[in-house]
Structure 1
Amino acid sequence: MSNAPRKAFKEAILEYSKELRLPMIRKHLDEQVRESTQQDASYEAFLAQLLEKECDARREASRHNRIRLAEFTHKKYLEDLVIADLPDDAQKKLKQLKTLEFIQEGRNIILAGNPGTGKTHVSIGLGLKACLEGYKVWFTTVPLLINRIKECRAEQTLRAFQNRFEKYDLVIADEMGYISFDKEGSELLFTHLSLRAGRKSTIITTNLSFERWGEIFQDPVMTAAMIDRLTHQSYIVNMNGNSYRMKETKEWLQQQQLA
Structure 2
Amino acid sequence: MKKDIVKTNIKTVAKELKLPYITRNIEDEIKEANIKNLTYEAFLLSLLENEYDLRKANGIKNRIRQARFPYKKYIEDLSLEDLPQDARDKIKVFSSLDFIETGQNIILAGNPGTGKTHIAIGLGIKACNKGYKVLFTTIPLLVNELKESRSAKTLRAFEKKFEKYDLIIADELGYISFDKEASELLFTYLSLRAGRKSTIITTNLSFERWDEIFKDPVMTAAMIDRLTHKSYIVNMNGNSYRLKETQLWLEKQ
* Distance of 2:166 and 2:185 partners within structure 1: 20
Q: TM (normalized to structure 2)?
A: 0.98
Amino acid at match of 1:102: F
Alignment check: 8 A CA contact 1:28 1:50 kept:
no
Amino acid at match of 1:53: N
4+ aligned runs moved over 6 Å, structure 1: none
Question: 1:241 maps to what in 2?
Answer: 238
1:94-173 aligned at under 5 Å gives the runs 94-173=91-170
* Distance of 2:8 and 2:224 partners within structure 1: 63
1:31 shift after superposition: 1.5
The share of aligned pairs that are identical, in percent, is: 64
Quick check: 1:80 aligned with 2:80?
Answer: no
1:220 shift after superposition: 1.3
Classify the secondary structure of the residue corresponding to 1:114: coil
1:43 shift after superposition: 0.4
| Alpha-carbon RMSD | 0.9
* Distance of 2:18 and 2:135 partners within structure 1: 29
Between 112-121 and 46-55, report the one with greater CA deviation.
46-55
Quick check: 1:57 aligned with 2:54?
Answer: yes
1:77 shift after superposition: 1.1
* Distance of 2:96 and 2:19 partners within structure 1: 33
Quick check: 1:19 aligned with 2:42?
Answer: no
1:180-191 aligned at under 5 Å gives the runs 180-191=177-188
* Distance of 2:153 and 2:219 partners within structure 1: 26
Quick check: 1:217 aligned with 2:214?
Answer: yes
Quick check: 1:5 aligned with 2:2?
Answer: yes
Alignment check: 8 A CA contact 1:114 1:240 kept:
yes
Amino acid at match of 2:121: I
Amino acid at match of 1:222: M
1:81 shift after superposition: 1.0
Question: 2:32 maps to what in 1?
Answer: 35
Q: TM (normalized to structure 1)?
A: 0.95
Classify the secondary structure of the residue corresponding to 1:173: strand
* Distance of 1:88 and 1:137 partners within structure 2: 27
Question: 2:194 maps to what in 1?
Answer: 197
